[in-house]
Structure 1
Amino acid sequence: MSHAFRTLHQAMPIVAAALGRKFGVPVAVGGDEACTDGNSIQVPALPPQSELIPVAWGYLAHEAAHLRFTDFETYRQGASGSDPLTRSLLNILEDIRIERAIAAPYPGTRENLQAVCDHLSGRGALSPPKPDAHPAHVLTSYLLLHLRHRLLETASLAVSAHEAERVLRQVFPARTVHRLQGLLAEVGQLASTADAVDLAQRIRALLEEEKQSARAPSSGAGSASGQPDRNGQERPDESGQNATGTGGTDNQMPGGSVGAPLPADEQAAQGPTDPTAGQTSSGTPAGSPSGQGGGQDGGTPAGHNDPGSSTKPDSSTPSTSIPDAPHDALKTQAVSQTLNASDDDLPGDLFQQVRELLDAAGQGDSPCLLPRAEPFDGDPARGLRLLGVVQEESRRLRARLQGLVQASRLDRPQAFRHGPRLLPKRLYRAAVGDPRL
């Protein structure tokens, strides 16, 4: 083991102990596991050149914030008996709250915590979700990235947070996203663990409300005697007829009503007698009013709607409502899938990943001692010469320092009635008429 290696290796306990005293929690360095028992924090000993040393300080600050600001009994009560989604929401909200709380008296912890995010981002552990990911994963990833970027001011997560919001709006209904962001505005005002538990439960209740509100219109539409379904089946036929130049209103009842289609036998009987349909099916030359595009010449018989005006709304209705219906149904289904998510569908605790990284990089049970005198491995004669030079320089510096201290003690300025300068310490004596200033 080289001298530099031993020096850095043995300095880590000093830094960790200093941080522990600063945060008011006991800290131990050593072993091969990063953990906390609710009273103290243990950080594994890392190699001196390890890139995880800043991550270890961030982990230490995070766990110290838990020990100082988290009410573990309230947290356990809020998490026990809850579903995986609520537990994940509570963990994210409480992490944000305590990290903001510890950054107020100790601003330097922001840099350590941002180092954790930077390292995880470089490894891809804090990347934005994919559109085809589980909706619960999309939601919790958005919360994690958005809140850390906005409230903890982690600049490295700006792009990921923006992309996560785009995916969230792509997966969930716009109304749900709008209401969710309204609740997230309260995260900065969380003052206790109980507030975090309450907000996590309110976010889940919001998703429950969105699920019920999305289910209510669909059930009401399906109870209207099936009429919207039959209209939906007729509209593609009408649009197809309009594309070939036929008037879609001739198959309707007199007066242009589209609410009640004729029975199949009556349509079969009426179809051949329809002059417009007959002309179109027989290939009438372009010259008839229906063959030239409908009511542009105003030649529509009375009692029928204008083909140009009646077919355009019918042909546009499927293009706007029917293609969007599956997309809206998928967004509504995403809310239900989020509520029914399991632990495997969620990204997991961020600092659990940090623990795993520190555990893997730890040096096991290797002893980690405080600095102590070490045997000299070089040439003894050369070492003695260097020792003599050092001692001589030390004596010279000691003598100069002692002279400066003695001179400062013997330098006692006295006040006189004349001179170019005033003694600030004696200005108060001007009030009693003492001219020696």
Structure 2
Amino acid sequence: MHQTLEHAFPIVAAAIGNRFGISVSVGGTKAYTDGQSIQLPGYNGSDPQYQHYAWGYLAHEAAHIRFSDFQLDFGDSVLRRRICGAIEDVRIEHELAKVYPGTRLTLAKMVEQLVSEGRLTAQAASDHPGNVLFGYILKRLRAKVLGQTVLEPLVDATREALRACFPRGALIRLEGLLSEVPEGLTCERDCLDLTDRILAMLEEECTEPTNTSASGDSDSDSEDGDNATPEDDNDSSDTNTEHEDSSSSGSDADGAENLTDPGDPAPSDQDDEPGNESAGADNASSGTDQPAQQDDSATPSLMDQLRITSEQDLEQDWFETAKSQLGLTPDSAEKCTLPVGLFPKGSRLVGQALANRVEQNSKALRVALQSAVQDHRQNRPQAARNGRRINPRRLTKLALGDTRVFCRSGQRVAPNCAVHILLDKSESMGETLVIHGEEVSLLTLALEASMALALALESIQGVNPAITAFPGANDESVHQVLRHGEKVRDNLGRFSVFSAYTTPMTQAVWFAAAQLLQCREPRKLLLTVTDGVPNDLPGTLSILKRCRDSGIETLGIGLGVEVGHLFPVALTIHDLAELRPQLFALSKAMLLAA
């Protein structure tokens, strides 16, 4: 059975990362990001549930890399950091969806997966108050701003828990503050400022008796009278008597409404006491609040609980959950690795010197290649039996019974193709040779030949060249010397690369294939120049076969080594002085084969 690359996990991951402008690598057993690139595990299956987690995680982390600051100081408050993170997550995902609308559905599918598996649940009134607050903000913003409607039942349930734990006035003011998301936020600093305003508002509502009284006005007359008792010190004794008489009934009504939850504000303004207990305290003290003060010394206030909230008190970050679901065991992780593409930090002067040598020594070869391709593309007139234009030179053929006297333009297929040159720069490529009396490294020869070919190809309409050198900074990366669509002379500094490390050809072919499959050209050529044996021969053979099954033509040039067992179209060069002419000849044959 043919196994193509069309929906291969590493290829799709690379395509998504390229669309976001983010470097993505695939390999190993864990998912993580370093703030510049994203690493996904070496998964190569087609499980849709796994892919929901992978693409959601990828989109979310790409949004962080593109839009987040990473430099803010959150202090020691865990709750402050997590609430700011929840608001920032919504902001950046909203911004990403403006540029890439499909990410809204991608992230929604991941959230649906979490809910369906029971990994996301509503907060309860018995939960830590910090967790109730955090969970409500996170779910409410995601449901309303990002359109993740699967969360709406969880939002409703968590809202009930919030009502049981916090003063009513705090809920009203919280909704007003959350309405600023996302339009009122432009950066992560704005998210932190909003978080600080939310926490400051809660401190006001939970500690000031006036605000607690005001929050009770909208509930019932009995609550109003109850909450007013400790404040109206200048009222008449009759009024005070009425308030005291209604204090007990007001407390009972309030406790019943909130299911006697410990977090609901009681008439004695103690936010952490159960309604039943505060009612009993009021009756026993005949309007005094001395017992409530004694309870304060034994039980932390609501704000104290919020201040000392720990990471264990809050639900796990959703994308940490997704990341844990992406983890693989060493036995289940595929050997296929999509390396990260880096830009070599070379000298433009070195690249310019290389270009000068190429210009002097390869002009004739470039002209010959360009002429051959252009000549092949010319539409030569063909004789036809019908048409709109007569060829006078063929009129004499009528006497012989040949009626093909009309001219018709011939249709020839242009070499509309993408060519990706994969250049081995392992340590062995640093070997020094003497060519025409001049000492030169094998890598320099290969770079010159590759640059000359790229210069020739980029001048031919319909040909899209690229050059990738492998390995890059290590065996898990490659150097993008020239990307598809770029010009050689605009990127001369990238041609200043040096030989190092081994020959991770499997990973390099994965990377090149991912780049080729994103090109619009219908024909795709992968040309590999190497002087050694791949680190993982079975893996290299497997990915090369998948390339061919996916329509990518694979060619190989061995520098002093046989590569026919790797590539169906292969060339071995023993006289390295002939590298450039042979490379041009092979490229010409492949371009004209269309």
For Structure 1 versus Structure 2, the TM-score category normalised by the shorter chain is 0.5 to 0.7
Q: Does 1:39 align with 2:26?
A: no
Q: Please give the per-residue CA displacement for 1:13-69, whole angstroms capped at 9, x wherever unaligned.
A: 111111111100100111111000011101113352422112201110110111011
In the alignment, which of 252, 265, 270 is matched to residue 328 of structure 1?
265
Matches within 5 A, 1:44-83: 44-46=41-43, 48-50=45-47, 51-73=49-71, 76-77=72-73, 79=74, 81-83=75-77
What is the deviation of 1:140?
0.9
- The answer as to whether partners of 1:9 and 1:48 remain within 8 angstroms in 2 is no
What is the deviation of 1:106?
0.3
- The answer as to whether partners of 2:167 and 2:206 remain within 8 angstroms in 1 is no
What is the alpha-carbon distance in structure 1 between the residues aligned to residue 154 and residue 83 of structure 2?
19
The amino acid across from 2:271 in the alignment is T
Matches within 5 A, 1:125-204: 125-189=119-183, 190-204=185-199
Matches within 5 A, 1:104-115: 104-115=98-109
What is the alpha-carbon distance in structure 2 between the residues aligned to residue 356 and residue 88 of structure 1?
19
- Greater relative CO (CA pairs within 8 A, separation 6+): 1
Partner residue in 2 for 1:28: 25
Matches within 5 A, 1:5-20: 7=4, 11-20=8-17
The amino acid across from 1:170 in the alignment is A
TM-score, with length taken from structure 2? 0.44
What is the alpha-carbon distance in structure 2 between the residues aligned to residue 212 and residue 406 of structure 1?
90
In the alignment, which of 187, 204, 207 is matched to residue 202 of structure 2?
207
What is the alpha-carbon distance in structure 1 between the residues aligned to residue 240 and residue 136 of structure 2?
48
What is the deviation of 1:323?
5.5
Q: Please give the per-residue CA displacement for 1:368-410, whole angstroms capped at 9, x wherever unaligned.
A: 157xxxxxxxxxxxxxxxxxxxxxxxxxxxxxxxxxx999xx9
Q: Does 1:319 align with 2:317?
A: no
Matched residues, number: 295
Partner residue in 2 for 1:350: 318
Identity within the alignment, % = 36
What is the deviation of 1:129?
0.9
Q: Please give the per-residue CA displacement for 1:211-255, whole angstroms capped at 9, x wherever unaligned.
A: 331499899977999xx9xxxxxxxxxxxxxxxxxxxxxxxxxxx
- The answer as to whether partners of 2:5 and 2:11 remain within 8 angstroms in 1 is no
What is the deviation of 1:413?
7.4
- The answer as to whether partners of 1:207 and 1:339 remain within 8 angstroms in 2 is no
What is the alpha-carbon distance in structure 2 between the residues aligned to residue 9 and residue 30 of structure 1?
19
**Closer/same/farther in 2, CA of residues 257 and 98 from structure 1, 3 Å limit:** closer
Q: Please give the per-residue CA displacement for 1:183-227, whole angstroms capped at 9, x wherever unaligned.
A: 0001112111111111111111112222331499899977999xx
What is the alpha-carbon distance in structure 1 between the residues aligned to residue 245 and residue 65 of structure 2?
65
**Closer/same/farther in 2, CA of residues 197 and 259 from structure 1, 3 Å limit:** closer
What is the deviation of 1:328?
2.2
Q: Please give the per-residue CA displacement for 1:328-378, whole angstroms capped at 9, x wherever unaligned.
A: 2398237422333222111131111111111147865531157xxxxxxxx
Partner residue in 2 for 1:368: 336
What is the alpha-carbon distance in structure 1 between the residues aligned to residue 91 and residue 173 of structure 2?
21
What is the alpha-carbon distance in structure 1 between the residues aligned to residue 23 and residue 34 of structure 2?
11
Question: In angstroms, what is the RMSD of aligned CA positions?
Answer: 3.9
**DSSP 3-state at the match of 2:186:** coil
Unmatched segments (≥5 aa) in structure 1: 229-255, 262-309, 371-404, 415-437
- The answer as to whether partners of 2:8 and 2:44 remain within 8 angstroms in 1 is no
What is the alpha-carbon distance in structure 1 between the residues aligned to residue 42 and residue 326 of structure 2?
9
What is the alpha-carbon distance in structure 2 between the residues aligned to residue 174 and residue 207 of structure 1?
11
What is the alpha-carbon distance in structure 2 between the residues aligned to residue 331 and residue 223 of structure 1?
15
**DSSP 3-state at the match of 1:158:** helix
**Closer/same/farther in 2, CA of residues 220 and 324 from structure 1, 3 Å limit:** closer
Unmatched segments (≥5 aa) in structure 2: 214-226, 273-300, 339-378, 390-594
**Closer/same/farther in 2, CA of residues 54 and 7 from structure 1, 3 Å limit:** farther
What is the deviation of 1:7?
4.6
**DSSP 3-state at the match of 1:27:** strand
TM-score, with length taken from structure 1? 0.59
The amino acid across from 2:309 in the alignment is A
The amino acid across from 1:71 in the alignment is D
What is the alpha-carbon distance in structure 1 between the residues aligned to residue 211 and residue 89 of structure 2?
36
- The answer as to whether partners of 1:33 and 1:362 remain within 8 angstroms in 2 is no
What is the deviation of 1:88?
0.7
What is the alpha-carbon distance in structure 2 between the residues aligned to residue 122 and residue 115 of structure 1?
10
- The answer as to whether partners of 1:44 and 1:362 remain within 8 angstroms in 2 is no
**DSSP 3-state at the match of 2:115:** helix
Bigger proportion of residues as strand: 2
- The answer as to whether partners of 2:26 and 2:39 remain within 8 angstroms in 1 is yes
Bigger proportion of residues as helix: 1
